[in-house]
A and B are shown apart, each in its own frame.
Chain A
Amino acid sequence: MAKTLAEKVWDAHVVRKGDGDGASAQPDLLFIDLHLVHEVTSPQAFEGLRLAGRKLRRPDLTIATEDHNTPTLDIDKPIADLTSRTQIQTLRNNCAEFGVRLHSLGDAEQGIVHVVGPQLGLTQPGMTVVCGDSHTSTHGAFGALAMGIGTSEVEHVMATQTLSLKPFKTMAINVEGTLRPGVTAKDIILAVIAKIGTGGGQGYVLEYRGSAIRALSMDARMTICNMSIEAGARAGMVAPDETTYEYMKGRPHAPEGAEWDAAVEYWNTLKTDDDAVFDAQVDLDADTLEPFVTWGTNPGQGVSLSEAVPSPEDFGDENAKAAAERALQYMGLEAGTPMKDIRVDTVFLGSCTNSRIEDLRAAADIIRGREKDPQIRMLVVPGSARVRLEAEAEGLDRVFKDFGAEWRFAGCSMCLGMNPDQLEPGERCASTSNRNFEGRQGKGGRTHLVSPVVAAATAVRGTLSSPSDLEPAPEPAAIRTDAA
């Protein structure tokens, strides 16, 4: 029978077919290839194991890192916030007790859990990957079935290396055409979410397809899959191809020699069969896409950067209308204001959506040789210590520092208000992260989700801006523009 990519990966992991019917029908039990762990959602799971006298079944398929509440400055000093310090210490104790590999603050492989897995080559096509974090969908960029799970499920995976999963539906997101300069993967996914809504993907695994997706690098595919969860989806996937293999090759945990050949042979089978049927389809035209930005307090509340803040009256359905009203109030915005007139206080370049090396390069290319708006505070937070080292080797840190941005150590940072990097009440931020919820970046903070290049252009002009709004850069910056 013809199958979609998601169905193939699912079928290859069934430990036990669900049985029984009616009330006690059990879902399929699936084997989990990789379990990623961080400090926030694991303490209660480890505690559960201990209380039940259970073992961690597969330490060799488990890896931990510290990211959510770690500081991005003074990382050699003890963490100032006591509860954060306790949580980190608890992770360290638990990993030592249960034999889990941990990359701690200061380690070259430490970083945001979703940046670390792919970078080590641990995320591979056709795998099942889980983590107690909703943005686990990131790993789907490799053609893995990757899902965020809750702490009870974390404990379940620790004890059994499996999960009982409800069947999903499949949705094809077809993105055809060629992106214009200055338009990026982030704009694709923001446009998809604005189109289908924050609940539109509910119950679905999304497969991103089409010429525009095939043309994207792995870093960009990760940006897209990362935000699948913002459309409510269970997971997002891209079928593996040469771009994937190219990225994988030579990574620490990538297969080698004959194993590599066997792997590639298998990976080549991981595509949706021509005659397979998706439960739903959505089409997006890449040719006409513009830089996208959110105006509201959920990621579906977005518009093209060239448009204006919508009015609640623009929304047909009563709930959407009320939500828009509330969002405008929280965001301190007037309907009808051109998005490009909105002045921001802070620019945050980071998070598991956009903190990989290409994101930093793209932003650096925009600001190189330009001046930052003096009122703007800009934070640049690499996704992992490894990305930071790589960026420094290329001199990107200098570009950011010369521009007047703060060059930080790796972590989730201002993506969520859990570590010292937070917005003040009322502070407005252009952020490359994934969530613009009320208070997400700090109590009362106002978030506009943007791409790295829009973030960079905004830092130059002080108002939400696309790279095309900038005056031509002075001399030396011209070097890379043709490659962009």
Chain B
Amino acid sequence: MEKFTKHTGVGVPLRQSNVDTDQIIPAVYLKRITRTGFEDALFSAWRKDPSFILNQEPYSAGSVLVAGPDFGTGSSREHAVWALKDYGFKAVLSSRFADIFRGNSGKQGLLAAQVAQDDIELIWKELENAPGTEVTVDLESKTVVCGNIVAPFEIDDYTRWRLLEGLDDIGLTLQHEADITAYEVTRPSFKPKTLPARVS
């Protein structure tokens, strides 16, 4: 995973709450078996509407999405994060994220920064009044800067550390393989196994 310390890019104000993962990427795109190439799928239903924010200059080149509360609710599809990343987003700002989306983001190096709704409103205004304004997201200091607005954001310490270090989860866990093996030995024998298969 790439290290994430600080990013500056055009901010995109998405004035909507409850942006669920079906909106971020509709189910039909989930049939792909690759891990990249989902940029066309991002918000695909909304992008058919010429007035949608990503169809407008200079927002189309945005890399920091500033969304309403409850972003990423619904399905656990990690494709939502891939689509945002493939499109070019490096960070999403919202006052509340769905848990699974937040977890998926952290794993893929997309920064999900939790910003107070009051600050989101200010940033929205700024980005709408001066389209193309850049937003800086600084993971070191956990702050967002947009024009004159400087706002703190929250992210859990562990995700932040992993993002800063660019660490891969599986590698980290496999350092503790002996612990896993030790646990496996103690697993009660009444607990089920899928193999050999038994059927009704």
Which A residues are within 8 Å of any B CB, using their own CB? 15-16, 22-27, 29, 31, 33-34, 40-41, 43-44, 47-48, 52, 54, 57, 59-63, 68-69, 81, 83-84, 86-87, 90, 101, 108-109, 119-122, 124, 127, 132-134, 148-153, 155-156, 159-162, 164, 166, 198-199, 202-203, 232, 234, 251-255, 259-260, 262-263, 266, 298, 319-320, 322-323, 326, 386, 416-418, 435, 437-440, 443
Contacts and interface: CB of A to CB of B under 8 A. Distances in A.
Contacts of A251: 200
A289 B34 CA distance: 46
Given A44-B33, A108-B200, A155 B170 contact: yes
B161 interface: yes
Given A15-B179, A322-B17, A122 B22 contact: no
Interface stretch (B58-66, B84-92, B129-137, B191-199): B191-199
A29 B176 contact: yes
B116 interface: no
Nearest to B71: A199
B190 A263 contact: yes
Interface of B: 16-18, 20, 22-23, 26-28, 30-35, 45, 68-70, 73-79, 81, 96, 98-100, 103-104, 107-108, 156-158, 160-161, 164, 169-170, 172-174, 176-177, 179-180, 182-184, 187-195, 197-200
Contact of A15 (B70, B169, B180): B180
Contacts of A59: 194-195
A350 B94 CA distance: 34
Given A63-B194, A166-B103, 5 more contacts: A152-B104, A162-B180, A199-B96, A199-B98, A437-B22
A101 B22 contact: no
A41 B192 contact: no
Contact of B180 (A60, A161, A198, A263): A161
28 contacts: A24-B158, A29-B179, A29-B180, A31-B180, A40-B77, A44-B35, A59-B195, A60-B193, A101-B195, A109-B199, A109-B200, A148-B100, A149-B76, A150-B103, A152-B104, A152-B108, A153-B103, A198-B18, A232-B70, A232-B99, A266-B188, A266-B190, A320-B17, A322-B16, A418-B30, A435-B22, A437-B22, A443-B45
A26 B74 contact: no
Contacts, number: 222
A16 B173 CA distance: 10
A160 B170 contact: yes
B180 A319 contact: no
A319 B28 contact: no
Contact of B69 (A33, A252, A319): A319
Given A63-B194, A153-B107, A198-B18, A108 B199 contact: yes
A40 B42 CA distance: 17
B153 to A, nearest CB: 16
B33 A253 contact: no
A202 B184 CA distance: 31
B18 A298 contact: yes
A60 B76 CA distance: 24
Contacts of A440: 22, 27
A87 B194 contact: no
A62 B100 CA distance: 21
Contact of B191 (A16, A124, A319): A124
Given A44-B35, A127-B191, A150 B100 contact: yes
B200 A120 contact: yes
Given A22-B157, A156-B173, A83 B32 contact: yes
A437 B23 contact: yes
> Which of A29, A148, A437, A439 has the most chain B CB within a 10 Å cutoff?
A437
Which 7 residue pairs spanning A and B have beta carbons closest together?
A150-B104, A150-B78, A252-B198, A152-B107, A43-B33, A83-B31, A263-B190
Contacts of B184: 31, 161
Given A15-B176, A122-B192, A156-B169, A149 B77 contact: no
B64 to A, nearest CB: 20
Given A86-B33, A164-B173, A319-B69, A234 B199 contact: no
A15 B27 CA distance: 35
A132 B76 contact: yes
Centre residue among B26, B28, B34, B188 by max chain A CB count within 10 A: B28
Nearest to B192: A253
A439 to B, nearest CB: 6
Nearest to B32: A83
Contact of A234 (B69, B99, B182): B99
B157 A41 contact: no
Contacts of B160: 23
A435 to B, nearest CB: 6
A259 B189 contact: yes
Contacts of B70: 198-199, 232
A27 to B, nearest CB: 6
Nearest to B191: A33
Given A41-B77, A121-B192, A159-B174, A319 B17 contact: yes
B174 A160 contact: yes
